[in-house]
Structure 1
C-alpha cells in the first residue's frame, strides 16, 4: 500500500505542472465591430475612424458631408473651397485637398461663382 503523503505529493506536482504548462484556449472575437486593429486618428480631443469620418474645422464629420462654396458644393473630407483671383473677377474654386490652392486648375477643379 502506498502512503497517503506520496499520493498527495504526486497529485500536487501534477496539478502544478498542468498549471505551468497550460496556455489556455484561444479567444475568438464574437463581435464583427471590434476596433482592436483598425486605424484611429485624433481630431482635437476626440478619436475617430478615418474609414468612416474625417476631421474638418476641429470637428469629426462623416465622409459624405458636403458644404457650400459659392454656387457649388464640395465634399469637406476630400475637397476644399479656395478663393480664385486668376479670372477677370474674383471667384471661388473647389480643389482636391492634396492640391496647392495656388496651383493651375486641373480637370478635377470646379470654378464656382459667389
Structure 2
C-alpha cells in the first residue's frame, strides 16, 4: 500500500470515529440553568430549581435564607412570620389560625 493511501485510510477512519465517539461521551452545556427534562418552577419571570431555592416575596432565594421576626429568626422558604402576634408558623398556615404545637412565639424587639 502506498504511503498516501495509508494516510487517506487513517483520515477516513478518524472522520468516521470522531462523530461516533462524540455521541458516546456528550459534552454537557457550560451554562445549564434550565433543564427541560425537569418540571420547571417559576417565581415571577424567573425559573428556579426547588432543590436549591424558593420563591419569597417574588424573588428567588436560597433555601437557607433567614429573616427576623421579633427576637426570632425564621427560614423564609419553610416558615412565615406573623408580625402582629410575633409568631413563627410553617409556610402555608394562616396567621389567623389557632396556635399549633410547632409554632414559635417571639417577643418584639424594643428600640
TM-score (norm 1): 0.62
- Residue in 2 that maps onto 1:64: 64
Moved more, 104-113 or 34-43: 34-43
User: Structure 1 stretches of 5 or more lacking a match?
Assistant: 1-24, 85-90
1:24-79, Cα deviation, whole Å (9 max, x unpaired): x8877655xx7332232111111101111001011100111110000000000010
- Residue in 1 that maps onto 2:102: 108
- The reply to whether residue 80 of structure 1 matches residue 80 of structure 2 is yes
Structure 1 or 2, whichever has the larger Rg, is 1
- Residue in 1 that maps onto 2:92: 98
Count residues in correspondence. 84
Taking structure 1 as reference, are residues 30 and 93 closer, same or farther at Cα in structure 2, changes over 3 Å only?
Answer: same
Whether the aligned pair in 1 keeps the contact of 2:69 and 2:83 (CA below 8 Å) is no
- Residue in 1 that maps onto 2:49: 49
Taking structure 1 as reference, are residues 37 and 112 closer, same or farther at Cα in structure 2, changes over 3 Å only?
Answer: same
CA distance in 1: counterparts of 2:63 and 2:26, whole angstroms: 28
CA distance in 2: counterparts of 1:55 and 1:44, whole angstroms: 9
The structure carrying a bigger helix percent of its residues is 2
